Each structure stands twice: as structure tokens, then as C-alpha cells.
Homo-oligomer: A and B are copies of this chain.
């Protein structure tokens, strides 16, 4: 795509349709809008056909409003806002068509549910307390056009809870395994699954959990093949990657 962009500009220069300084400016000027505090890429959605994503943490509600308004003026797609505080959500709801999930702090503008991939993504958690992170993953994957199945509270201390759902594991095209504490869920699912497993360590736990470090190290050292890891509590990253993998398997017909 980038090379086609260059070729097309060069063609216009050769055709005399563009002089070299204009061409240089085109090559130089990036396809984004500069709000000062943010540089918004309006071509990404068009290029990739995916919703826009805004990371809400560390931004004021006015900054988020500005970014969303800019995106809406260029793109027909959904906008996913992660780590959106309740206060900012209340502010945005008055201005945009926002759906907000309090548990996972996910906001979606212009929510639409079109499936664009044919497979299923399984999102599993070790415990009840991991659900907020899991929902961030699940909602992200749904907004990105995937069918998502949830399997919560199936930690390895009660193995039969997980084993009784072996069919869901073997039916998925990608699995997001969300767990805190010792994070063993990822290894056990990794040993049972034939598809990629994206492990999400959570900060759930206390003491020698050290803010999610125990689950993170555990998942990185998984003895099961086909397991990879994202950042602690990064449900969004796991949902996004699962969607990428699921779409490789073919679009929804």
C-alpha cells in the first residue's frame, strides 16, 4: 500500500500532473490530522477497514471528545474507546452515540455488530475477578467483527470445570486466556488447544503476585506450545490480536 502510494505520486510527476515540490509535500505530509495534543491517522480505518481505537487513559475528557469528533468526520466505522473512566463516559454520552460497559471501562461509538470473520474466539478466565479484563478483550473482538464465546471462572484448581468445556476449546480459532494469581490457565488451555492461545496476565491477586508479575512470568514460561503473552491487564491487545488471527481464517460469507 505504501509502495502504491509512492508509485501513484511518481506517476503524476511523470505525467506533469504534479510538480516536484507538490510531490515532495505529498510524500512528506503524513495522512493524519494534527490536533496538537494528538495526531490522528484518518487513513488507517480506510486502509485496514477496521474501527478506530482510542486509548482513554491519561487523556482528558475534552481531548477524547476532540479525537472522537475528528474521527467521526472522516470514517464510517465504529470507534472503540478503552480505559474510559465513568466520568468521561458520562461527558461523551451527551455528545455522541456511546455504548459504555462499566465493568471493563470500554466505550463504543456507533456500535454495530456485523460479523466479518467466520471463526469463533473463545475468551476464558481463571476466576470471577478476571472478568473485567476478559470483557475488554471480548468487546474489542466483537467490535472488530468476531463471534465471541465466553467461558469464565474455569481456573485450574477445579480442573473439571475446564475439562467439561473441552469442546469449546477445540472449536475455537483463537483463544484468549485471562488469569491472575499463578496464571496456570494459559498452560493448561495451551496443552488442550490446537489453535493460538493469547495469554493475558491480570493484576488480580495479592502479596507475591506483585501486581501481576507472577502470572506474567508464569505465562511467558509456559511449557505449552502455541502460547503468546500480552501486557498485564491488556484485554484490548489480546482481543485485537485474536481478531487479526481469526480474520486470517477467512471472512464471514
Contact = CB atoms under 8 A, between A and B. Distances in A.
Nearest to A161: B39
A17 to B, nearest CB: 11
Interface string A210-240: 1111111111111111111111111011101
A205 B228 contact: no
Interface string A24-67: 10011111100011110100100010000101011100010000
Q: How many copies does the complex hold?
A: 8
Contacts of A53: 225
Given A31-B160, A37-B131, A228-B230, 20 more contacts: A1-B170, A2-B166, A3-B24, A14-B16, A14-B19, A28-B166, A57-B129, A58-B129, A156-B187, A159-B192, A180-B221, A182-B183, A183-B221, A184-B187, A196-B248, A207-B232, A208-B220, A208-B232, A216-B220, A227-B237
Interface of A: 1-3, 6-7, 10-11, 13-14, 16, 19-21, 23-24, 27-32, 36-39, 41, 44, 48, 53, 55, 57-59, 63, 126-129, 131, 152-161, 163-164, 166-167, 170, 173, 180-184, 186-188, 190-192, 194-196, 198, 201, 203-234, 236-238, 240-241, 244-245, 248-250
